[in-house]
């Protein structure tokens, strides 16, 4: 099922990004990252001569590759591994072969926003601010998009909305623990507590049944 519009591509990418903010994804990712980190320590100890126990870059790549393969199976998305002098990085990879793409939109908002960074400022702080601004911009940009298939019609934006509530609630629980009740979450989002709980459940069911993969960027 190919994307029918540039807006749909944009929303599919947003769904993938938001899914990666949920605990159902993060738990698998953090567990895999810890295992790869342990392998990386073995490699660096051998590389700098601290230990004579042989563990080459190839050994690391082979070991990490097996862990990433398992991570891909558990999260339904592909991950890439980057190894350099500064360390390693594991991150989701979108296999959308139509990217990068140019949005053609006669509206004032063409789907992209340019952000200016201060090269002397804090990188992490600026990235956090940038992510917040992009999410607000995305909310303004997305329109009502409907996916057609042989079995059902589902609103792709509803999927994104449900996932965003799930990611917000998961983040609040991580930060505040038991203090993040459904009422607190609902007040933060500006909706009814029961509605928030229902949307969270729909997002969870979509992930557990692997149906969410239908809404990821298509290969």
pLDDT score for 217: 82
pLDDT score for 101: 37
pLDDT score for 15: 93
pLDDT score for 155: 84
pLDDT score for 213: 92
pLDDT score for 50: 77
Per-domain boundaries in the chain? 7-101+144-215
Rama region for 90: left / alpha / beta (φ>0; ψ in -120 to 50; rest): beta
Angle between helices 123-141 and 6-19 (to 10 degrees): 130
pLDDT score for 93: 83
pLDDT score for 164: 93
pLDDT score for 200: 94
Per-10-residue mean pLDDT for the chain, 219 residues long?
65 91 95 94 82 83 94 94 85 59 39 62 68 64 44 71 93 80 86 92 95 84
pLDDT score for 129: 66
pLDDT score for 112: 59
């Amino acid at each position: 099922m190919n994307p029918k519009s540039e807006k749909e591509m944009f929303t599919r990418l947003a769904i993938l990004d938001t899914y990666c903010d949920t605990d159902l994804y993060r738990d698998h990712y953090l567990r895999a990252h810890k295992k790869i980190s342990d392998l990386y320590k073995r490699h660096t100890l051998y590389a700098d001569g601290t230990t004579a126990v042989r563990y080459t870059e190839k050994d690391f790549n082979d070991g990490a590759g097996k862990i990433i393969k398992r991570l891909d199976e558990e999260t339904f998305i592909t991950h890439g591994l980057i190894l350099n002098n500064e360390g390693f990085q594991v991150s989701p990879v979108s296999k959308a072969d139509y990217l990068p793409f140019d949005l053609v939109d006669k509206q004032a908002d063409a789907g992209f926003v340019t952000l200016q960074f201060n090269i002397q400022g804090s990188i992490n702080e600026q990235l956090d601010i940038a992510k917040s601004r992009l999410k607000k911009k995305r909310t303004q940009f997305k329109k009502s998009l409907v996916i057609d298939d042989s079995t059902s019609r589902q609103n792709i934006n509803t999927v994104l909305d449900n996932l965003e509530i799930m990611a917000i609630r998961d983040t609040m629980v991580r930060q505040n623990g038991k203090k993040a009740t459904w009422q607190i979450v609902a007040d933060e989002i500006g909706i009814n507590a029961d509605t928030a709980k229902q949307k969270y459940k729909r997002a969870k069911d979509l992930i557990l049944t692997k149906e969410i993969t239908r809404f990821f960027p298509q290969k």
